[in-house]
Structure 1
Amino acid sequence: MDLTGAEWHKSSRSSGNAGGDCVEVADNLPGVVAVRDSKAPGGPALIFAPGEWRSFLAGVKAGEFDR
């Protein structure tokens, strides 16, 4: 998939002192949401359908992945 036009964003909770352990999300692409490791911007990206991404975010907000 061509991600050339992707506009990558980090979480507002991500700090510059976190050692670079962040993910970046691009949700401006038609029909997909891309996620990548901020330490490897030229590396692979995970691709999700928008509905899958919304379900994941809802699960995070609901605490489904808390340990």
Structure 2
Amino acid sequence: MDDSAGLLHALEALALGIVGKRLLWRSLAAIAPNLVALQGTDFDELEKRAHDQFERVETLRIQTAQDAFRI
């Protein structure tokens, strides 16, 4: 293994953060009808963006994992 192991670790953390953000948008969307401060926010769009971000990171994460553990 080389520097790709460090990159893999960073991508793992980034992927977890993006998933957490996506779940946060879902939670906020569920309570938005009851909180004026959240009304008008497009949580569906924010969740879609998080999903798209995750897909991009996931592709790189899998590729990096394959490189890091290539024998």
Q: What TM-score, normalized by structure 2, do the two folds share?
A: 0.30
Instruction: Identify which of structures 1 and 2 has the higher relative contact order when contacts are C-alpha pairs closer than 8 Å and 6+ apart.
Output: 2
| Larger radius of gyration between Structure 1 and Structure 2 | 2
Structure with bigger helix share is 2
TM-score (ref. length: structure 1): 0.31
Kindly indicate which of the two structures has a greater share of residues assigned to strand.
Answer: 1
